Structure 1
Amino acid sequence: MDMEMILIYVCMATFLAYLFLKPLFTRTTNKKNLPPSPWRLPVIGNLHQMSLYPHRCLHSLSLRYGPLMLLHFGSVPILVVSSADAARDVMKTHDIKFSNRPKTKTVDKLLKWGTEIGFSPYGEYWRKVKSICVMKLLSNKTVSSFENIREEEINVMMEKLEKASFLSSPVNLSEFLTTLTNDVLTRIVLGRKYSHEGGGYISQNVVRRFMELLGAFPIGDFIPVLAWIDRIRGLDSKVDHVLKEDMLFAGTVTTFTLIEWTMTELMRHPECMKKLQDEIRSVSTHNSYVSEKEVEKMNYLNLVIKEVLRVHPPAPMIPRQVSEDVELHGYDIAAGTQVLINVWAIQRETATWGPDAEEFRPERHLDLLVDFQGQNYNYIPFGSGRRGCPGIGFALALVGVTLANLVKRFEWRVHVETMGDDKPDLAEAVGADVCRKFPLVVCPSSV
């Protein structure tokens, strides 16, 4: 063996030894009090413990390591928050230190380099943009002023459903809801529709691909030397392709996902569907459109929406990033640490929600003083603090009146294929926003 080969082998052995021993040296020399951590592999850290459904696998890990858990994706520290108490300290006590969003190359490309309100850095620009949104675009007065648009587009959808009912044909309700929410938004923001009826083009698949990419974990962000893997697995090309579509429509995902899951759960629980139908028909006694003023009187509808947001939060994990060193529950959290608040896990804590926390039961909210504003940290479907979602009223206005009209006007059953079940499945799609994995195909019948 010549000297060059020996040097190559020595260098390789030294490099491998460094990779394996570095974490051990780091642990012994670091005097900070860090949160519990699962054992991690060299180079990739805890990435091997992730799955397609991070909110579920992180919940499982938290049951072993606790409500504050430190992971490493590559060399990037990730703090996972899985309890209401810890979430309160992050989003209230130390909110300003946790008000940044982590940036990834996917977010940079899809969301214009973090210049929009959801992912832009906390600072003067973000405060101005949020102020404009809250005071001008998303105020109660402005939301109310678009009631006629909501009514017109809901009636367009209802006419299609009536035709399907008359022909006894199944419909892809998920596609109908995608079109409805996108048409409402684009008429409000752009003054015209961009669906097929409006001379444009939208696709449920495009919107869902957008959310899937937004929730992806680009390897190159955590292990720069392995960035080539993102190219091989097609992540970069997928981002470039989605960028070519009109991505304004991604803002409607939360709305149609909430309606989609609500119809799913109601068809899975016919006793809840019947109770809601009775309420709606007792308030709205005529045979025409259910108005938004009538919806305001429907208490059980509000309970149903609350429960759907509990078991199916549109964004199951809220990302934050620490801007400066902070002590949290006795642990030292370094500046730059990324944070994942596991809303899905928090809203299923049995200590708060009881032994049936996994079950869909709207009545549980009768005795609970929780709302959608995030002041009770056991229930934060729209987040809380400075980075809480400013569009709650905008989304719920369309959700409530759409559900009221769908439930009042039709009886619903799932379109059953050969060897299929008579209830909708609960399979989840992959992405930042967890909608149904498969479209909700149903058969409506007029009452």
Structure 2
Amino acid sequence: MIFSFHLPLFPLILTFIIIFLFKRFLSSPLKSHKNQPPSSRKLPIIGNLHQILGSNPHRSLVSLTQKQGPLALIRLGSVPVLVASSAEAAREILKTHDVVFSSRPKLRIIDTITYGSKDIAFSPYGEHWRQIRSIAVLKLLNSKRVQSFRGVREEETRVMIDTIGESCGSLIDLGKLVSSLTNDVVCRVTLGRTFHGLKFNDLLARFTYLLGVFCIGNYIPWLCWVDRLSGLEARTQKVAEEFDEFLEGILEEHINKKKMVDGDVGEVQDLVDVLLDIQRENTTSFTLDRDVIKAAIMDIFAAGTITTSTVTEWAISELIRHPRVMKKLQHEVGEFAQGKSMIYEEDLEKMHYLQAVLKETLRLHTPLPLLISRKSTQYVKLMGYDIAAGTQVIINAWAIARDPSLWEESEKFKPERFLNSRIDYNGFHFEFLPFGIHFAMAVNELVLANLVYKYDMKLPDGARGEELDMSEITGLSLHRKSPLLVVATPRI
């Protein structure tokens, strides 16, 4: 997700680099290790950067490393990067040597936005890393907590369904509606209420955009001035300051509310309440200060608002392109709905085909195709190769999910492959790594079930499903390049 390049100064950068091609050459700290993974040819200074920058780096990495096999070593500027493109390699990194590869590389934009990488997703390996992840797993995103927000998900789903009903068969931007729903769910779950208005929406859009922008200073430090010249550093700092001001207001609002209603346990806590309670009740040496709380909230916004909506949008896109699958899913949902006005979460557990459709969507359209980059903390022997400490690691989950040696007809949308399968969303099956999105799937299942239960969705102007543009673009997540415009007509 860190290679989407949007800087208009890139030609200037290349010109500047060419001037110095014969003056500075890449050195390789890995030469002391004799058995390195196979690597691709690279240019001085920039290494392989020019081969992966663009809108779809996951596809570029497949082209770049397919001759090298499941492990390949490339250079992004001065940074050695190990690319893993097989389930076996992913298992070795994420399970066998998980401690060695648990840290994260220092990324300039992320570091600025998340208070020095104090968040859940990007904090480097160490005591803070252990404590903040423990809080996330045990307190924020456990099954009981996710279930406690069931009412929020159902209320917001009903609002979206009613909004579509009011369209009277006219053209709607389904992706925009689903995005609005997920924003409202995440706001209510995290902050206790929704936030609408151009100012908040603009801030959230700029925040998520920056998380997917390439920062040249991460890979060629002596060219970090380019990020300043382009205005990237200034824009990042401005977003960080605006988001900090917003989150400070949220914290004060919650602290004051707690003082006024202290002792009232009848109301479901939002995640800010949970974090503030942990802060007050802290009995360990770990300090959950305000910056850590705000950084954690930013992670939840990033993961919740973007990946959730993109999964539903891709699922509807595939269903429109595959009418047989759509009819089969509508039949299953209708059987369990039994004439209700809408589907509720209690109905979802038995809808195995619904779950299969979403799993197949996640396989073909992995929300984070390159997961989150990792960094080795020490030398390690990996699949017979010597990997030096400080090597950045990219797992191409998108390539693994389309590996023809693992998946029959790997490029086709076939939900049936997941029926009677034990593969789930938790990341324990290394041929299927959708980023552990338990919270997101609770929303996706409910929204998708209600959409296909209540409406038939067709493309405008009589276009056939196979004509739907499925072009993709990668920023923070893998999303549709063009809006999903449909005409929805009531079924019940």
State the percentage of identical aligned residues.
44
Tell me, yes or no, if the aligned pair for 1:114 and 1:120 is still in contact at 8 Å.
yes
Letter in 2 for 1:102: P
Q: 2:50 aligns with which of 29, 42, 48?
A: 48
Unmatched tracts of structure 1, length 5 or more: 1-14, 383-388
Contact 2:460/2:486, CA 8 A, preserved across alignment: yes
Rounded Cα–Cα distance in structure 1 between residues aligned with 2:339 and 2:30: 73
Q: Secondary structure at the match of 2:228?
A: helix
Match of 1:194 in 2: 195
Give the deviation of 1:309 after TM superposition. Answer: 0.6
Checking the alignment, whether the CA contact within 8 Å between 2:101 and 2:376 is kept in structure 1 is yes
1:212·1:433 contact (CA, 8 Å) conserved in 2?
no
Task: Provide the C-alpha distance between the structure 2 equivalents of 1:330 and 1:185, rounded to a whole number of angstroms.
Answer: 44
Shift of residue 237, structure 1, vs aligned partner: 4.1
Amino acid at match of 2:445: G
Q: Deviations over 1:266-290 (max 9, x none)?
A: 1111111111000000110114110
Report the residue type matching 1:55 in the other structure.
H
Preserved CA contact (<8 Å) 1:280 1:404: yes
Q: Check whether the contact 1:412–1:445 (CA below 8 A) recurs between aligned residues.
A: yes
2:382 maps to 1:328: yes
Trace 1:398-417 onto structure 2 (pairs within 5 A).
398-416=443-461
> Are 2:353 and 2:419, in contact at CA under 8 Å, matched by a contact in 1?
no
Could you tell me which amino acid in structure 1 is paired with residue 71 of structure 2? Answer: L
Match of 1:375 in 2: 428
> What is the CA-CA distance between 1:27 and the residue it aligns to?
9.5
* C-alpha distance 440-112 of structure 1, shift in aligned 2 (>3 A): farther
CA distance in 2, matches of 1:424, 1:115: 42
Q: 1:229 to 1:282 in 2, by over 3 A?
A: same
Contact 2:357 2:415 in 1 (8 A): yes
Q: Provide closer, same or farther for how the CA distance between residues 36 and 416 of structure 1 changes in structure 2, counting only shifts above 3 A.
A: farther
Secondary structure in structure 1 of the residue aligned to 2:474: coil
Cα shift readout 1:110-131 (whole Å, capped 9, x = no counterpart): 2222111011112222222222
SS in 2 for 1:19: coil
1:208 Cα shift?
A: 5.5
- Whether 1:306 aligns to 2:309 is no
2:332 to 273, 279, 285: 279
Pairing 1:251–2:328 present: no
- The answer to whether the aligner puts 1:70 opposite 2:73 as a matched pair is yes
The change in CA–CA distance for 1:80 and 1:212 in structure 2 (over 3 A counts) is farther
Q: Residues 171 and 441 of structure 1 are in contact (CA less than 8 Å); yes or no, is this contact kept in structure 2?
A: yes
* Structure-2 residue corresponding to 1:147: 150
1:289 and 2:294 aligned? no
Deviation, structure 1 residue 262: 0.7
SS in 2 for 1:309: helix
Given the two structures, how large is their TM-score scaled by the length of structure 1? 0.87
2:263 corresponds in structure 1 to: none
> What residue in structure 1 maps to residue 120 of structure 2?
117
Alignment partner of 1:175 is 2:176: yes
| Alignment of 1:215 onto 2:212 | yes
Give the Cα–Cα distance (whole angstroms) in 2 for the partners of residues 323 and 239 of structure 1: 28
Distance apart, 1:366 and its partner CA: 2.3
1:232 Cα offset (Å): 4.2
Residue 130 of structure 2 aligns to a residue in which SS? helix
2:281 corresponds to? none
1:427 maps to 2:428: no
Instruction: Sort the Cα spacing of 1:208 and 1:65 in 2 relative to 1 into closer, same or farther, 3 A.
Output: farther
Partner Cα separation in structure 2 for residue 359 and residue 444 of structure 1 = 26
Verify the 8 A CA contact 1:179 1:195 in the aligned structure 2.
Answer: no
Output the amino acid matched with 2:412: E
| Residue range with higher mean Cα deviation, 312-321 or 232-241 | 232-241
* Equivalent residue, structure 2, for 1:347: 401
Deviations 1:277-317 (A, max 9, x none): 00000110114110111111101001001100101111000
| Residue identity matched to 1:213 | L
Mean alpha-carbon deviation: is it higher for 241-250 or for 326-335? 241-250
- Root-mean-square deviation over aligned CA pairs: 2.4
Conservation of the 8 A alpha-carbon contact between 1:429 and 1:438:
no
Distance 1:441 1:29, change over 3 A: closer
CA shift for structure 1 position 238: 4.0
CA distance, structure 2, for counterparts of residue 416 and residue 75 of structure 1: 51
Task: State how far apart, in whole Å, the 2-side matches of 1:17 and 1:311 are.
Answer: 43
Instruction: Output the amino acid matched with 2:460.
Output: H
Shift of 1:180: 0.8
Give the whole-Å Cα distance in 1 for the aligned partners of 2:320 and 2:227: 40
Deviation at 1:416, TM superposition (A): 4.5
Match of 1:224 in 2: 221
Is the CA contact 1:106–1:218 (under 8 Å) kept in the aligned structure 2? Answer: yes
Secondary structure at 1:323 match in 2: coil
Q: Secondary structure at the match of 2:83?
A: strand
Residue-pair matches, total: 415
1:61 has 2:61 as partner: no
> Which secondary structure state, in structure 2, belongs to the residue aligned with residue 411 of structure 1?
strand
Deviates further, 210-219 or 95-104: 210-219
Distance 2:142 2:61 in 1: 36
Instruction: Compute the displacement of 1:154 (Å).
Output: 0.9
SS at match of 1:106: helix
1:297-345 Cα offsets, whole Å, 9 max, x none, are 1010010011001011110002110000111111111111100000000
Does the 8 A contact of 2:85 with 2:395 survive in 1?
yes
Offset from partner CA, 1:94-120 (integer Å, 9 cap, x none): 000000111210111222221110111
Distance in structure 1 (CA, Å) of the matches to 2:66 and 2:219: 25
For 1:133, the equivalent position in structure 2 comes to 136
Structure 1 16/395 Cα, relative in aligned 2: closer, same or farther at 3 Å?
Answer: closer
* TM-score, structure 2 normalization: 0.79
Question: How far off is 1:414 after superposition?
Answer: 2.1
Corresponding position of 1:261: 314
SS at match of 1:429: strand
